[in-house]
Structure 1
Amino acid sequence: MGSSDAQTDVQPRKWLHPTTCLFAARALRDFGDGFVAVLLPVYLLALGFSPLEVGIIATASLLGSALLTIAAGFLGPRFDHRQLLLAAASLMIATGVAFAVVHDYALLLIVAFAGTINPSAGSVSVFVPIEHAALTREVSDANRTRMFARYSLVGALASAVGALAAAAPDVMTTVGLGQLTAIKLMFVLYAVVGLL
């Protein structure tokens, strides 16, 4: 009975290859990064911050992402990749929620530095090196270049769709929502993307 139960537990997962999960995660995340990159300065300006303050938050988020990426390089060999990706996804959820509810500049600066908000067009988050390491284990050497090309294409297309989705707050204002509320809902959507 024990061995048949173990086989039953394993079989439902066979239909979904790990690379498919990683590609889907990349698409979701880059979709979120696509609209956040466009909406972040709009949101911060709508909160009343100066262009200099907006630039400082963007710089802090890029610096924080770089440091998290370096940390992932050190931690990657010591921890399970799945655990690291789940921790990064939890950080993404917390970042989206914090940006939706926090209005204090100093707190936003800390969240930007420690979180996953990405104000650039490319994916420069903590997820990428972990996913690269996980993907290399799942394909043969001969297929690795093809797989990374697909991985990059999926990310670029999802980011483009996300950038288009940045127009959603304007659409929401036509049904009576305020612009600031509509943008906050997009940060909530960013948190939901992290949950997915």
Structure 2
Amino acid sequence: MAAFGAKYPRFAPNKTVTPEGVVTYDAPVTIGALNKADLTVTMASGKVYGDNELQESIDEFVSGTLAMETSDMEDEGAGKIYGATVLEKLCTYNTGDTPPEGGLGYYKTLVRGGKKIFKTVFYPRAKAAIGNDTAATKADSITFSTVATNWTIMADKTGNWRLTEEHNTEEAAKAWLDTQMGVASDA
């Protein structure tokens, strides 16, 4: 299996969360054109030794971080993702902004046995933090910059922190991801 593409980064803020952890989402927003998404997982580990050998070893998910880069992010999306205030054309970032939790996903293109497969990745509980921003003057060559967003990935009340599913078409991958975010499927 070889991966060579990633597309359709979407975020849907939580609308409601029941005491049992059942989530409904607000309408999803497309974050921008996806450049990359790098997941780092933090695990809690424990080992116990006895009689001079390892008796038990446990590794459990604690949290994850997803460093995402997109080629652009419109202000309306930034408002929904970072909790910034958007009024008409002005987007205001404030120290009191509280980014909402929500569902985050995208899909990646794989090749397995010469056939394209579209693997969706959905994180049911994610929270964004704005990444670093750079700007450079125009010179004799053009250097593009990207929008960095750092996501904290958490487990939901059932313990689920990541869902993946493989599809034969991009349309099916998009539909599955949208369904996870509460968007009704046309099928």
Normalised by the length of structure 1, the TM-score is 0.23
- Greater helix content: 1
Normalised by the length of structure 2, the TM-score is 0.23
- Greater strand content: 2
Question: Taking CA–CA contacts closer than 8 Å with sequence separation of 6 or more, which of the two structures ends up with the larger relative contact order?
Answer: 1
